[in-house]
Structure 1
Amino acid sequence: MPDVVLKFLPLGAFCSYLPMKRRRRICDSLGVPISSLAAVVLIAGVSRAAGKPRTGTADQCAECYLAHQGFDRDVSSSRQFLQRSPTAPRALKMLGVALAGARRLEGQNRKFEHSLKLSPRFYLSLSDLAVSEFHRKGEAGTKNDFKQGLKHPPSDPPPNLFLVERYFGEKQFAMALRPYDQAGTRSRGNPRAILREARAALKEGNQKKAVSILALLAPADGSSHFAAGAMLAEAKAYAAAAREFGLARQTYKDPYAAGYNQTLAYVNAGNYSAAIGTANELLNQGHQTAELASVAATAYLKNGQPREAYNALRLATHLDPKNEDGYVDLCEISLDYDNYDLGLEIADLGLSHLPNSERLYLQRGVMRAMKGQFPDAEKDFAKASELAPNEVLPDISLGLLAMQTGRLEKAVEILRRGATRHPDNYLAQYWFAQVLLHSGAPPRTRDGDEVLAALRTSVRLNPDFWHARAELGKVLLERDEVDSAITQLEKAAALNPSASSPLYLLARAYRRKGDDARAHDLVARVSKMQTEERDALSRATLKHIVRDGTAGGPPELRRP
């Protein structure tokens, strides 16, 4: 029989050598599920030949008995051999393992500690003690034991894996990488360890290292490459994610899911031509799905190919006639190119399949408003409000339409109602303030105070909405609150450096403060711009507001 050797193995690998009954007993003794790859156990190498263990030293015999007999007999046998070699660290260590198998963890630990007294650098007992303490006491007081075990030698996987679990639990991701580097657990034979190490690198913000770690995955391991792609996409490393999904397509159980994710990752990475190519490959392979056609349309649009985008969206709506996003996206293309007749046709087609879609009623209302069909547009907006009374856009759209047609009192009524219904919506507050300003609300009056309150609320709800900050600065300036006005106008200008209106108002504010030099510089900047109003909400405000508000959320990755 070959010599018996001791070696650490992940519990899952160890169990593959033993009958199921023995696997369960070992896992139960450690208090871990049999499938856990983080748990470890110290085992003796077992001779492939049948028969009784050969004669040998006390610690070798203890190892063989542990491998061949039940744990209860192991305890008795190990004690007998220990009497013959009371100072053998390995014999003490084997008795500790036998006690663990017999669920006597405290006794096990005493034997490990005794072994360490005899040989302080006997790292096998250090590692066993740390693992045992981890299961007995949980998170408390085991990290130092692991650190000691790691010193002799650094290539021992089990304590490293346990220490990594500890560092991950404490969100110390840089520290979690060290045991992997020390133990050499990065290997093509351990994809879970590779994925875990790559995740630690991503948590540390080191995408380059994560990608280099993931390069160790076996090319044919489709499942691991798919998981790697999802991990990288979550970290917004989209180009690398696309590569991983591309590798996964070769062997993954669902090549369409991998290909769809690859297409989406390419879009997010800005590689639109690659996204188009991948989508067409999948479509030509028979994967005719509305979601894939919609992503392809997005890639075409961003690649400056609106006609191809339109065709892809028509395919999406053909494949899934109830695909609301497809109709809305088609309407948006029509709005972008001012093709309102085509937009009306698409909205009508969508409503024939989705008669209760408030988003499509809003889109059709905008088309009609752009064509000057205001009564019909108002009916569509009112229908959208009826279908979705909790949505803010129908109220805003009705209010803007009333403003555009000169019915300010009606607009005030509608937008006041919208602001009351939606106190936490920055657009509702902003447009309520706007309609009051259009109706001539003077500063320091009831209406003027409502304007100030609504604009402050809009800024609080969305600090990055520069229009609200610019209007708030203007109102504060009219109230002679110059310093506060400058604060808001400076922030508005920073949010949109190409906007001229905040700069013009800032020039007025600095001149009022007596800073003529600063005011002169700002006026000079404004004069260099092509047109002062190019940054303001355009005449087609209604079109842009509804387009942005009815857009669907970004597509999501497919999961395993």
Structure 2
Amino acid sequence: MKLVWSKSRPVIVLSIAFLSACRLSAQDTQAQKQAIYRLLAAQQLPQAEQSARTYLATHPEDCNVRVMLGIALRGESKTEAAFTAFHTAAKQCPQSLAAGEGAAETAYALNKPEAKRLVTRVIELRPGDETAYAMLGAIDARAGDCAGAVESYAKASSRISQSPPALQQYGSCLMVLNRPTEAVTVLSQLLALQDQPVNRLALARAQAAAKDSSAALATLQPLLDAGDQDSNAYLLAAQLAEGKNDTPKAVEWLRKAIELNPKNVDAYLAFSEISFNHGAFKVGIDFMSLGIRQLPSEARLYLARGVLEEQSGQMDASLQDFEKAHQLNPQLSFAEDAMGMLLSQKHDPAAALALFAQQSQLHPDDPLLQYLYAEALSQTSNADETQIKKSIAAAQRAVHLEPSYQPARDLLCVLLLRHNDLDEVIAQAQEATKRDPYDEAAIYQELLAEHKLNHSAKIQVLVKQLQDAKAHNQQARTKYVLEEAKPSAPPQ
């Protein structure tokens, strides 16, 4: 079976040598079967189809002729009918490699659920078949199973070496699996084969993730010199420049990124981070305001502006932006985004705690402020019993005011576990997973509580639940990364 990578899907080139797998010979083949074979060899496909159907009407058990019917139908682009013919032949003659290959290829082309099983069967019949492994890799990548895709693609290295779509998927999956060094090798091969901006950007991202910023900038340089229109190329270059302490160049490239795409939210957020780190709060606020005019429903921009406003002493404006961000996206993790900056070494934790304590008293019915206060208390080093109880009370208040606020409920589970209130940890975690069955934080806290209670049977169930949640969330991230790669054609 020879696999030809095209823009749409692989096509099996069924040559005379392939047809000979049907083992037609003068001794065991009737004249009618010989005629069908000659029609196929002469590419007279409609006539071959008709002759095969006529023969099968009286000899339905003949796998060889059914395979020839599938070949004729496939050549006529009647792929669904070809799959039926091949699949029937494969079921009638499970040891027939010709039938198995035909069924696998057409199932793959039609994206049928049976494709993976049929391709796996081909590998069983012919171990080491790189074409089958290449298809299996593409099937797994298409399903979001990057671990499976990488394993299969690694066994088809020579087959995919000239296939840009396959290399795109292979490299993207390696990135999803956090194996950037290996991704650099694959994506370098892709760039050598097809020097396109999207492939150059993918390689630069892999090099950056592999901590080779100099190589990443060198890869990006032709795009920057040519004035590439992809805003993300300048965004990545800016992040690399800032990492090398070249802030003027980073700002220049971020401005270019925003100029090319005024709706690139990541460029605004990168600018806010640079503004924060260098104390340029006013400039950062102005840029976030510009972004908000372009993207008025983007919660992260209000959050970033709120952080910068807080740093510049604009407390009322800061709280308004935090509240607006929360209103737009209640699931946004303020602990990681806002508090991670507010309570950094550039800020006074004691002052932050005092601020949220004051505001939580002034606004007792604001679930966001109650959550922020609980988070600030939980971040206090050497917190005593009184502080832990206050933190629990604030988190309980937040989930009472807004029961669907998952970050607050997750924090409550953490605090209750710290307080050794194990039954309540379990209750709150189960409430969280009712609302989001893939809430890893809640499942993990429940698991820890059951471990302390020595409930081994429940622990086993929760371990499986946590694994399923991680797999689900990883698949969601996988699909995002694969879409972000923007391949010129999906590897088939």
Question: Does the aligned pair in 2 maintain the 1:395–1:415 contact within 8 Å?
Answer: no
Identity %: 16
Q: Provide the rounded CA distance (Å) in 2 between the counterparts of 1:432 and 1:45.
A: 72
2:367 matched to which residue of 1? 418
**1:216 is aligned to 2:154:** no
For the residue of structure 2 that corresponds to 1:293, the secondary structure is helix
Q: 1:312-327 to 2 correspondence within 5 Å?
A: 312-321=250-259, 322=262, 323-327=264-268
Q: Provide the rounded CA distance (Å) in 2 between the counterparts of 1:160 and 1:137.
A: 11
For the residue of structure 2 that corresponds to 1:259, the secondary structure is helix
Question: Does the aligned pair in 2 maintain the 1:361–1:384 contact within 8 Å?
Answer: yes
Question: Does the aligned pair in 2 maintain the 1:226–1:248 contact within 8 Å?
Answer: yes
- Residue 258 of structure 1 and its aligned partner are, at CA, apart by 0.9
2:138 matched to which residue of 1? 199
Question: Does the aligned pair in 2 maintain the 1:473–1:486 contact within 8 Å?
Answer: no
Q: 1:221-370 to 2 correspondence within 5 Å?
A: 221-222=163-164, 224-230=166-172, 232-233=174-175, 237-252=179-194, 255-287=196-228, 289-300=230-241, 304-305=243-244, 307-308=245-246, 311-321=249-259, 322=262, 323-335=264-276, 337=277, 339-340=278-279, 342-351=280-289, 355=293, 359=300, 362-370=303-311
Match for 1:417: what amino acid? D
**1:124 is aligned to 2:64:** yes
Q: Provide the rounded CA distance (Å) in 2 between the counterparts of 1:482 and 1:464.
A: 15
Q: Provide the rounded CA distance (Å) in 2 between the counterparts of 1:380 and 1:411.
A: 14
TM-score, structure 1 length as denominator? Answer: 0.51
CA-based RMSD: 5.9
**1:461 is aligned to 2:406:** yes
- Residue 362 of structure 1 and its aligned partner are, at CA, apart by 4.4
Q: Provide the rounded CA distance (Å) in 2 between the counterparts of 1:45 and 1:452.
A: 70
1:108 matched to which residue of 2? 56
Name which of structure 1's ranges 136-145 and 204-213 shifts more when overlaid on structure 2. 136-145
Q: Provide the rounded CA distance (Å) in 1 between the counterparts of 2:363 and 2:86.
A: 59
**1:147 is aligned to 2:94:** yes
- Residue 271 of structure 1 and its aligned partner are, at CA, apart by 4.3
Match for 2:308: what amino acid? M
Instruction: Summarize the Cα distance change of 1:171–1:370 in structure 2 as closer, same or farther, 3 Å threshold.
Output: same
**1:176 is aligned to 2:85:** no
Q: Provide the rounded CA distance (Å) in 1 between the counterparts of 2:96 and 2:374.
A: 67
- Residue 98 of structure 1 and its aligned partner are, at CA, apart by 3.5
- Residue 140 of structure 1 and its aligned partner are, at CA, apart by 8.2
Question: Does the aligned pair in 1 maintain the 2:254–2:267 contact within 8 Å?
Answer: yes
Q: Provide the rounded CA distance (Å) in 2 between the counterparts of 1:386 and 1:460.
A: 15
For the residue of structure 1 that corresponds to 2:484, the secondary structure is coil
Q: Provide the rounded CA distance (Å) in 2 between the counterparts of 1:317 and 1:381.
A: 28
Instruction: Summarize the Cα distance change of 1:349–1:308 in structure 2 as closer, same or farther, 3 Å threshold.
Output: same
- Residue 141 of structure 1 and its aligned partner are, at CA, apart by 6.2
Match for 1:351: what amino acid? S
Question: Does the aligned pair in 2 maintain the 1:222–1:251 contact within 8 Å?
Answer: yes
Q: Give 1:556's match in structure 2, choosing from 479, 484, 488.
A: 484
Q: Provide the rounded CA distance (Å) in 2 between the counterparts of 1:62 and 1:298.
A: 64
Q: Provide the rounded CA distance (Å) in 2 between the counterparts of 1:233 and 1:409.
A: 45
Q: Give 2:416's match in structure 1, choosing from 444, 465, 472.
A: 472
Question: Does the aligned pair in 1 maintain the 2:133–2:156 contact within 8 Å?
Answer: yes
Gap regions ≥5 residues in structure 2? 20-29, 74-79, 344-349, 429-439, 442-448, 454-479
Instruction: Summarize the Cα distance change of 1:249–1:464 in structure 2 as closer, same or farther, 3 Å threshold.
Output: farther
Highest RCO, 1 vs 2 (Cα 8 Å, sep ≥ 6): 2
TM-score, structure 2 length as denominator? Answer: 0.57
For the residue of structure 1 that corresponds to 2:250, the secondary structure is helix
Gap regions ≥5 residues in structure 1? 1-7, 14-34, 47-56, 75-93, 116-122, 420-427, 489-494, 497-505, 514-552
Q: Provide the rounded CA distance (Å) in 2 between the counterparts of 1:274 and 1:228.
A: 21
Question: Does the aligned pair in 2 maintain the 1:160–1:180 contact within 8 Å?
Answer: no
- Residue 408 of structure 1 and its aligned partner are, at CA, apart by 4.7
Q: Provide the rounded CA distance (Å) in 2 between the counterparts of 1:68 and 1:482.
A: 77
- Residue 413 of structure 1 and its aligned partner are, at CA, apart by 5.0
- Residue 458 of structure 1 and its aligned partner are, at CA, apart by 9.0
Instruction: Summarize the Cα distance change of 1:109–1:431 in structure 2 as closer, same or farther, 3 Å threshold.
Output: farther
Match for 1:556: what amino acid? E
